[in-house]
Amino acid sequence: MFTEIIEKYDWNSQKESILHKGADDVRRALNRTRRDIEDFKALISPAALPFLEQMAQLSHRLTQKRFGKTIQLYIPLYLSNECQNICTYCAFSLDNKIRRKTLSPIEIMQEVQAIKAMGYEHVLLVTGEANKTVGVDYLKQAIKLIKPHFANISLEVQPLDQREYELLIAEGLYSVLVYQETYHKERYKAYHPKGKKSNFDYRLETPDRLGRAGIHKIGLGTLIGLEDWRTDALFTALHLRYLEKRYWQTKYSISFPRLRPIELNNGDEQGLHHFGQFISDRELVQLICAWRLFDEELEISLSTREEEKFRNRLIPLGITSISAGSKTNPGGYVVEPQSLEQFEISDERPAQEIASIIKQQGYEPVWKDWEKTWA
């Protein structure tokens, strides 16, 4: 289990190892065709920033080699903001006294109709972490309800047991995104003081349970802004390498969610100044390119957390999927547009406008790439 492997790596020692990489280490990594963990450290280190143009060009070529000039379009569908966890960075946190909302079957279909009108075939179902309200039975019925309308269904909810994932896969679930938030075990508890999510090891073992359940794709990532982004990226890379060797028939994706402002129950906005691990746009480009150079097969996703011009520039640099027209509140498309968002999005442009921009850059926006026929 990866929970055993991670114990061999000290956070502070790995952070220092990254910071001590030099220009020669970066050049060596750029000149190799197969890159290991030490190469990844060099590519995410401060020493790699002067090589960013070279990294970007190489990332561009490798992405086109594997994925062609295509960008997959997807959209989140928030089913509920019920949550039993206290997370210091999330508007859905149990201690935030907001009006809670869980979509009924009729409301789910109203949201589905709105999403379908935008042209989407790939949908990501999102909830807070509340096993009693939006547990496996609720998720199973939601997937069964919307499966006839989408070619691809993904899930970003509370970690589940292996048998529960198997039940959802049988209903048509294609992929699951599970972000560790941070791999810094000692600091993890400070951000997740209460609820099932406070169990670091159970969350860390989720991709193993997904792999054993036979999921088609697993999405990894950390919440950029909690702890040192370089060290968290390194531990994510270690996790990915482990999973690829053990569950080699599974596909993998990576995302880069940066902390965004949230609205608290007293009406105050909680901004990024509450968290001290800032990453610049330039450094995020470096991180994206480093991931592509580290793993040519990896799917790389970019959400509406990022600003318009920045997202436009990233299209040719390694991204393979992008969201557009997103709402981060349950019922946000038509049922209850004014309900509380999980976080503020930055790019509010509609899906068709994003598709047009993708075309202008010589890429093809893909709404539907495949469909599995279920018995």
Pull the structure tokens for residue 359: 């075309």
Section 298-310 average pLDDT: 91
Residue 270: is its pLDDT beyond 80?
A: no
- The structure's pTM equals 0.93
The pLDDT tens digits of the residues spanning 169-215 come to 999 999 999 999 999 999 999 999 999 999 999 999 999 999 999 99
- At the topology level, CATH places domain 2-366 in TIM Barrel (3.20.20)
Mean pLDDT of the chain: 91
CB 77 within 8 A of CB 323: no
Cα-based angle 280, 40, 221 (whole degrees, multiple of 5): 60
**Beta strand pairing status for 251-255 and 217-220?**
parallel
State the alpha helices, DSSP H only, in the chain.
2-5, 11-19, 23-31, 37-44, 52-67, 105-118, 136-146, 162-171, 185-191, 200-204, 206-213, 229-246, 281-294, 308-314, 351-360
Instruction: Identify the pLDDT of residue 56.
Output: 97
CB 328 within 8 A of CB 305: no
Section 226-247 average pLDDT: 97
Backbone angles phi, psi at 192, to 5 degrees: -130, 70
Most confident of 39-53, 119-133, 300-314: 39-53
Instruction: Identify the pLDDT of residue 316.
Output: 92
Cα-based angle 138, 144, 148 (whole degrees, multiple of 5): 145
Section 74-94 average pLDDT: 90
In our burial notation (b when 16+ CB lie closer than 10 A, e otherwise), range 31-68 reads eeeebeeebbbbbbbebbeebeeebbebbeebbeeebe
Q: What DSSP state is assigned to residue 9?
A: S
Measure the CA–CA gap between 362 and 38, rounded to whole angstroms.
Answer: 34
In our burial notation (b when 16+ CB lie closer than 10 A, e otherwise), range 247-275 reads beebbbbbbbbbbbebbeeeeeebeeeeb
Bridge partners, residue 258, by sequence: 224
% of the chain with per-residue pLDDT over 70: 93
Instruction: Identify the pLDDT of residue 375.
Output: 45
Section 150-161 average pLDDT: 96
Distances from the Cα of 343 to the Cα of 116, 254, 269, 358, angstroms:
23, 20, 10, 25
Measure the CA–CA gap between 139 and 80, rounded to whole angstroms.
Answer: 11
Pull the structure tokens for residue 34: 């197969």
